Amino acid sequence: MWFYTYVVSLIIGLVFVVNPRFAHATMDPPSIANACNALAIETFGLKDLVLTITNSSKTGAGMKDVFNEFDNLFEGVLDNIGFVVGSQVIPDQADQQLVYQGYSYFVQAVFELMDGLSAGATAFITLDSHTKFRIPLEVQALGGVVDAYFFNIISVFPSNSSYYMQSNNQKDQVDTHFRQAVQAFDLATANTTSARRRL
């Protein structure tokens, strides 16, 4: 299942590398940081929507909004990959810190979104049985573009810097959170199916 995410990330990366349209796309450090911050705010918004629906008693309320927000976030991350590809390694430590802060903010937003989905998996499946298939697919697709985006952000840090090491570590943690969210829906689906069989 996570081979799919790896393949998606690889394909996205190759598209941006070989496509001449993106060959000279670069961003300066403040722009990279601002883009990360904007994506983080959008991700926190989706997390809040997920929590609202999880705590809602209305069957299926807002599910269309969740899927629309997933699609918008996917497109936003995908667009930003194109902007950051080709950006130069940042020599100035203050600029490195600026980018790292934006990167970490987006990482935190992804953590909270995936944790919210994991915690609400059973509630989502109860509200709308289609989510047992669709949410994991949305998570995997988003995971693929986020992985590619983070790979390109990390490449702007000097390879011998602490920011390079720390951002790689955070990327690994993000991968784990995506995986846990998918597993939560798999487990919730299995438990829901078992409960129905016992009735």
- Helix count and strand count (H, E) for the chain: 7, 0
Place of tokens 């300066």: 28
Which domains are seen in the chain, by residue range? 2-19+28-189 (1.10.357)
Q: Which of 48, 63, 69 is nearest to 112 (CA)?
A: 48
CA atoms within 13 A on the CB side of 166: 12
At residue 51 the predicted structure's pLDDT band, cuts being 50, 70 and 90, is very high
Residue 15 clears pLDDT 90, i.e. is over it? no
Residue-wise pLDDT tens digits, 172-190: 999 999 999 999 999 988 8
Name the least confident of 41-50, 121-130, 134-143. 121-130
Average of per-residue pLDDT across 37-46: 98
Residue type, 166: Q
Residue-wise pLDDT tens digits, 135-148: 999 999 999 999 99
First-to-final CA distance of the chain:
31
The three-state secondary structure class of 79 is: helix
Average of per-residue pLDDT across 147-164: 96
The three-state secondary structure class of 47 is: helix
